[in-house]
């Protein structure tokens, strides 16, 4: 069985014409919610526990630094391993 064909919502399959008149651009700014920051911290702590270095998420790391405690320690380890300046 074949998966269903993906159809661009901006085009008309019947006529083959493009019905989307505006160009699509990605202008969303990056923002971290407290849940995203907590999830990043947990994932980063897990990776560090198994001797792996997580990719830095600088906005989340800044929030972790401000939170202090375990959050700050995790952010500091990531920053040191990636040689990031504050």
Do residues 75 and 61 make contact, with C-beta atoms less than 8 angstroms apart? yes
For residue 53, the tally of other CB atoms under 10 A from its CB is 13
Q: Does the structure show a pLDDT above 90 at 22?
A: no
Q: How far apart are CA 63 and CA 34, in angstroms?
A: 9
pLDDT on residue 85: 75
More confident residue, 50 or 23: 50
Q: How far apart are CA 64 and CA 46, in angstroms?
A: 15
Q: Does the structure show a pLDDT above 60 at 44?
A: yes
pLDDT category, 80, cuts 50, 70, 90? very high
Q: Does the structure show a pLDDT above 60 at 48?
A: yes
pLDDT on residue 14: 53
């Amino acid at each position: 069985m074949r998966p269903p064909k993906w159809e661009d919502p901006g085009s008309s399959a019947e006529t083959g014409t493009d019905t989307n008149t505006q160009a699509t651009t990605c202008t969303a700014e990056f923002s971290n919610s407290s849940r995203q920051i907590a999830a990043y911290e947990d994932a980063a702590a897990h990776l560090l526990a198994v001797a792996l270095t997580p990719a830095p998420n600088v906005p989340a790391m800044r929030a972790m630094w401000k939170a202090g405690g375990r959050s700050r320690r995790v952010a500091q380890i990531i920053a040191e391993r990636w040689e990031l300046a504050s």
